A and B are shown apart, each in its own frame.
Chain A
Amino acid sequence: MTTQTLHPRVQVVWVLRAVLIAAVVTAPFAGAVYFDRLPEWVPIAVGAVLLSLGVAHALLRYRRWSYEIREDALYLDRGVVTQVRTTVPLVRIQHVDSRRGPVERGVGLASCVVYTAGSRGADVRIPGLTPEGASDLREELKRLAIRADGEDAV
C-alpha cells in the first residue's frame, strides 16, 4: 500500500472548526466594543488574524497528513507545528472503530480510530475518509491485525 492522503473535503471540516474557534475567541472583544471599552478595529483585527491562522493551519494540516499501511505496521505522519510520526505495529492493535460525527456526516466523510493498549498513543484517529473508505480501512486493519496474531503484552 502506498502512502495515502486524506479526502480533500476534510479541509471543509477543519476550516469550519477554525471559523468556530475564531468566532468564540472574538466574541468577548466584540462585547467590549459594544460596551464602548475598545475601539472598533480590535475585534476585526483579532478575528481576521485568528481566522487566517486557523485556515492556514487547516490547509497545511491537510497537506501534511498522510498514512500508510506497511507490512507490519501502520504509519501516520501529521502535524503542522509539531510534526508527529506514529508507528503502530499491527500486532499491537486492540480494536478498530469507524465513526462519523455530525459535521463529518454533513460533508459525507467518516474517520477510523485505531486503539492500542498504550497509555499515550492509546487511540489514533485517521480523519477525512469516505464512509466506504473508513469501513474498508477498518476491515483491512482487522484482517491484518488478526493475521499478525500478536498478544497484547499487558
Chain B
Amino acid sequence: MKLAPQSVPYRALQKVSGIVVILFFVVNNNPDWGFAVAAGVAGAVVLAAVGYEVAYYRRFDYELTDDTLDISSGVISRREREIPYRRIQNVDVSRSVIQRAIGVAAVDLETAGGSSTEGSIRFVTPDEATRLQREVQRRKAAGSAGSARAGDEDAGRAGSGAGTGAGVGADRVGPDEEELFAISPGELALVGALSFDGRLIGLLAFLSSGSVPVLSSFIPDASAVALTATAIVGVGGLFLVSWVLGAGVAFTNYYGFRLSRAGDELRYERGLFRRYSGSIPTEKVQALRIADNPAKRALGYASLSIETAGYAPGQGGEQGSQAAVPIATTDRVYRLAREVESFGDPQFNRPPKRIRWRYAFRYAIVVGVLVAIAFGIEWFLGAGLPWYAPAALLLAVPPAAHLKWRHRGYWLGEDHLLTRNGFWSRTVTVVPYYRIQNVIDARTVFQRRWDVATIVADTAGGGSIAGSDAAAVDFATDEAVDLRETLRERLRIAVAEHRDRRDRFEWFDGDAEGADPVDEQTGEADEPTSDTNDGERSDDGGESGESGERDEDRSDTPDDGVIRPDFSGSDRDYSEPAERIDTGDYAVDRNPSDVGGTSESGDGDEDNDSSDDEKAEDADDDEK
C-alpha cells in the first residue's frame, strides 16, 4: 500500500518551512543580496525537498500480511520492518488542522519494545487510517484469540467479542462500537476550569525579573503604593492569563472526548483542532489509575488513565495516557474502570494505626526545620520578627498524619491488586495479578524501626517510570511478607489459567471435529505450545478437508451454545482442499484463494521495477 499522494507536498513544505523562514530573515538583514537570490535559493531548497519526498513516497510501502504489518521505507538508508500484529500495543491516529484541510492523517503503531514509535506512517488518507486501525485489530483478534484475558468475566466478554467479530468480520467491518464514555459540556468546562498552566507564569516571571530595573528607570517618581498596586495587578493578570491559557489548551485537547469499546479493543477520540483517535486492545492494558484531589473529591469527581506498555519513557507524560478520562463523576469513573478491568468493590486495608505516629514525627521534624530557618533569618537580620510563628503549624500535624494514614491502603481482589496512596493527589492503582512483572519488598532504616515495609508490584506500564507504582506503603512486616507471597502465588495461578486457556483454545483449533473435549484437553495440555498463537499456521495445522465445515460453524452460534472464537488469521478461502506446491526448497499448501496472490506478486514485480527507478533517483540524491 502506498501513502496518500497529498502527503508529498505537505511533507516537503513541512520540512523546508523552517529554512524558508530563515532565508526571509537573512534577506531582511542583507538587503543588498536582493530578493532574486533569496527566491532562487528557496526555490532550489523546495525543489530538492519535493524531489526527496517524491522518492520517499515511491519508496514507502506498507502491507498487511497474514500475521505481520510490513513497512519498507527509507530513501538513502533503507529499512524493512515487520511488526507482528499481536505485539502491537496501540494504534494512534492524529490529524492537525492543516492535515484535516488537505485530507491526510498520521498513523503511529506502538509496540512494547524500543525507545520510539515503532511504526510511523506519514501520511495516509483518513479513511485509510481508519481502515488500518480496524484491520490491525481484526487480524490481531483473529491471530491471538487463543490468549484471551484472565478472569471469568473477561473470558466471557472476550468470547462474545470474538463471536461478534466472527459474525461481522466477513464483511470487514469489525465488531460494533459500544460507547463507554463521552465528555459532557459541563465536564469539559470543569476540565478547563481546573487546568492551570504554571509554565507561563514561570516564563513571564523570568522575563519580567530582567525587565524590572529597565521599567523602574522609566518611572522614577512613582510612589511605592502605585508600584505595589501595579505589581499586584500584574501578578493577578498573570495568573488570569495562565489560567485562561491552561483552560484553552485543556479545552482544545479534550474537546469531543469519547471512549468506546469495540470487541476486545478500546477506542478513543478527542481534540478540537488536532484530532486524536486511537485504539488500545484490552488485553494490553497493564494498569488503571484513578486519581483525584480534595477539590475533586468534594465535588464528587475523579479522573482515570489507562496504561499500556506501548509508550517509551522518553516520549513524554502527555502521550503516556492518551486515553485518560480527564474528569467524570466518581461513580462513572469506577463504572468505566470496571468495564475495562472488572475488579469488584474494593475494601481497602489500611496500614496499622501506630504508623500515624511516624507521619506525625516526620511532619513535626519539617516544622522544626522551618522554625530553625526562621530563627536563623531573625538572628541574621535582627529585625525582631516572631521567628517562632511557624511552630503554629504543629497544630496541623496530627490531622495531616491522620489523613495520610487514612488515604493509604491496598486491597486484594479476585483478579486484581488495588493500592491507594496520597491525600493531595490520591491515586488508586488497579493492577491485574497477571500483569505483575516482579514484586519488591523494601524497608528503610526508619521503616524497620516501626516494623513496617513497603510492597511494590511492578508492571510494564509506562506510568511507573514517574514513580507512581502500585505500592502498599507502611504495612506491618508480617502482613507485608504475606502480601508479597500472596502476589507471587496469585501471579502463578493467573499465568497457569492463561496457559490453560491458551492450550484449550489450541485444542479446539487443532481438532475441529471435537469428539470429546475433556479427554483430549488433558491429553494435550502438556505439549509444548511455542507456536500456538500463530493463527495462520495453526489453521494450516487443521485438516484442510474439514475446514469448510469449520468455517460454516463459526459464522453463527452453534447449537451447544458455546461461542468459539474466530481463528481465521487471513482472508484465505478454505472451502476447497489445499494443493501441495513444491517450490524446490520446501513444500507449501496453496489454497484456491491464494491463486489470486500470484497476481499480487506480479504487482510486487512492478514495485520492484519502480524501486529500481528510485534507486537511480537515490543515486542522484546521493550525488547532490
User: A and B: partners?
Assistant: yes
Residues on A facing B (Cβ under 8 Å): 72-73, 79, 81-89, 91-92, 116-121, 124, 149-154
What separation, in Å, do the CA atoms of A149 and B499 have in the docked complex?
Answer: 9
Query: A-side binding surface: helix, strand, loop or mixed?
Result: loop
Cross-chain contact A119 with B461 (CB below 8 angstroms): yes
CB distance from B250 to the nearest CB of A (A): 27
What separation, in Å, do the CA atoms of A82 and B452 have in the docked complex?
Answer: 12
CB distance from B323 to the nearest CB of A (A): 17
Cross-chain contact A120 with B469 (CB below 8 angstroms): yes
B16 at the interface (CB under 8 A from A): no
Cross-chain contact B459 with A82 (CB below 8 angstroms): no
Residue of B nearest to A88 (CB): B438
**15 A-B residue pairs with CB within 8 Å:** A72-B492, A82-B443, A85-B484, A87-B440, A87-B441, A87-B484, A92-B436, A92-B438, A117-B112, A118-B464, A120-B469, A121-B437, A121-B438, A150-B495, A154-B309
- Kindly list chain B residues whose C-beta atoms are within 8 Å of the C-beta of A120: 440, 456, 458, 464, 469
CB distance from A79 to the nearest CB of B (A): 8
CB distance from B430 to the nearest CB of A (A): 15
- Kindly list chain A residues whose C-beta atoms are within 8 Å of the C-beta of B89: 154
Cross-chain contact B444 with A92 (CB below 8 angstroms): no
- Kindly list chain A residues whose C-beta atoms are within 8 Å of the C-beta of B440: 84-87, 120-121
Cross-chain contact B464 with A84 (CB below 8 angstroms): no
B284 at the interface (CB under 8 A from A): yes
- Total interface residues on B, CB under 8 Å, equals 39
- Kindly list chain B residues whose C-beta atoms are within 8 Å of the C-beta of A88: 438
Cross-chain contact B437 with A117 (CB below 8 angstroms): yes
Cross-chain contact A89 with B491 (CB below 8 angstroms): yes
Cβ-closest 6 pairs across A and B = A118-B437, A118-B458, A119-B464, A85-B441, A87-B439, A154-B112
CB distance from A82 to the nearest CB of B (A): 5
CB distance from A25 to the nearest CB of B (A): 22
Within 8 A of A (CB), among B477-493: 484, 487-488, 491-492
> Of A72, A84, A91, A153, which contacts B435 at CB under 8 A?
A153
- Kindly list chain A residues whose C-beta atoms are within 8 Å of the C-beta of B83: none
Cross-chain contact A84 with B441 (CB below 8 angstroms): yes
Residue of A nearest to B448 (CB): A83
**Contact indicator per residue, chain B 258-279, by CB within 8 Å of chain A (1) or not (0):** 0000000000000000000000
- Kindly list chain B residues whose C-beta atoms are within 8 Å of the C-beta of A117: 112, 309, 437, 460
- Kindly list chain B residues whose C-beta atoms are within 8 Å of the C-beta of A82: 442-445
CB distance from A153 to the nearest CB of B (A): 5
Residues on B facing A (Cβ under 8 Å): 89, 112, 147, 284, 286, 309, 313, 434-445, 448, 456, 458-462, 464-465, 469, 484, 487-488, 491-492, 495, 498-499, 528-529
CB distance from B260 to the nearest CB of A (A): 24
Q: If the complex has contacts A72-B488, A83-B448, A85-B484, are A92 and B437 also in contact, measured as CB distance less than 8 A?
A: yes
Q: If the complex has contacts A154-B286, A154-B460, are A84 and B442 also in contact, measured as CB distance less than 8 A?
A: yes
> Of A116, A151, A154, which contacts B498 at CB under 8 A?
A151
Query: B-side binding surface: helix, strand, loop or mixed?
Result: mixed
- Kindly list chain A residues whose C-beta atoms are within 8 Å of the C-beta of B498: 151
> Of B313, B445, B456, B484, which contacts A81 at CB under 8 A?
B445
- Kindly list chain B residues whose C-beta atoms are within 8 Å of the C-beta of A79: 442
Residue of A nearest to B464 (CB): A119
- Kindly list chain B residues whose C-beta atoms are within 8 Å of the C-beta of A151: 147, 495, 498
CB distance from B305 to the nearest CB of A (A): 15
- Kindly list chain B residues whose C-beta atoms are within 8 Å of the C-beta of A87: 438-441, 484, 487-488
Best-surrounded residue of A85, A86, A151, A153 (most CB of chain B within 10 A): A153
Known A81-B444, A89-B495, A154-B309; 10 more pairs at CB < 8 Å: A87-B439, A87-B484, A89-B491, A89-B492, A118-B464, A121-B438, A149-B499, A149-B529, A151-B498, A152-B112
- Kindly list chain A residues whose C-beta atoms are within 8 Å of the C-beta of B435: 153
Residue of B nearest to A116 (CB): B437
Residue of A nearest to B529 (CB): A149
Q: If the complex has contacts A83-B443, A119-B458, A120-B464, are A89 and B284 also in contact, measured as CB distance less than 8 A?
A: no
Best-surrounded residue of B313, B443, B465 (most CB of chain A within 10 A): B443
- Kindly list chain B residues whose C-beta atoms are within 8 Å of the C-beta of A91: 491-492, 495
Cross-chain contact A119 with B462 (CB below 8 angstroms): yes
What separation, in Å, do the CA atoms of A93 and B38 have in the docked complex?
Answer: 59
> Of B441, B448, B464, B528, which contacts A86 at CB under 8 A?
B441
CB distance from B506 to the nearest CB of A (A): 13
Best-surrounded residue of A92, A117, A119 (most CB of chain B within 10 A): A119
CB distance from A114 to the nearest CB of B (A): 9
Cross-chain contact B434 with A153 (CB below 8 angstroms): yes
CB distance from B482 to the nearest CB of A (A): 13
CB distance from B426 to the nearest CB of A (A): 21
What separation, in Å, do the CA atoms of A119 and B468 have in the docked complex?
Answer: 11
CB distance from A85 to the nearest CB of B (A): 4
Cross-chain contact B459 with A118 (CB below 8 angstroms): yes
- Kindly list chain A residues whose C-beta atoms are within 8 Å of the C-beta of B434: 153
What separation, in Å, do the CA atoms of A86 and B460 have in the docked complex?
Answer: 16
CB distance from A121 to the nearest CB of B (A): 5
- Kindly list chain B residues whose C-beta atoms are within 8 Å of the C-beta of A154: 89, 112, 284, 286, 309, 460
CB distance from B351 to the nearest CB of A (A): 18
What separation, in Å, do the CA atoms of A86 and B356 have in the docked complex?
Answer: 27
CB distance from A124 to the nearest CB of B (A): 8
Best-surrounded residue of A116, A117, A149 (most CB of chain B within 10 A): A117
What separation, in Å, do the CA atoms of A106 and B112 have in the docked complex?
Answer: 38
- Kindly list chain A residues whose C-beta atoms are within 8 Å of the C-beta of B444: 81-82
Cross-chain contact B442 with A89 (CB below 8 angstroms): no
What separation, in Å, do the CA atoms of A81 and B449 have in the docked complex?
Answer: 12
Residue of A nearest to B489 (CB): A72
What separation, in Å, do the CA atoms of A83 and B469 have in the docked complex?
Answer: 18
What separation, in Å, do the CA atoms of A50 and B528 have in the docked complex?
Answer: 55
What separation, in Å, do the CA atoms of A120 and B461 have in the docked complex?
Answer: 10
Residue of A nearest to B491 (CB): A89
- Kindly list chain A residues whose C-beta atoms are within 8 Å of the C-beta of B458: 116, 118-121
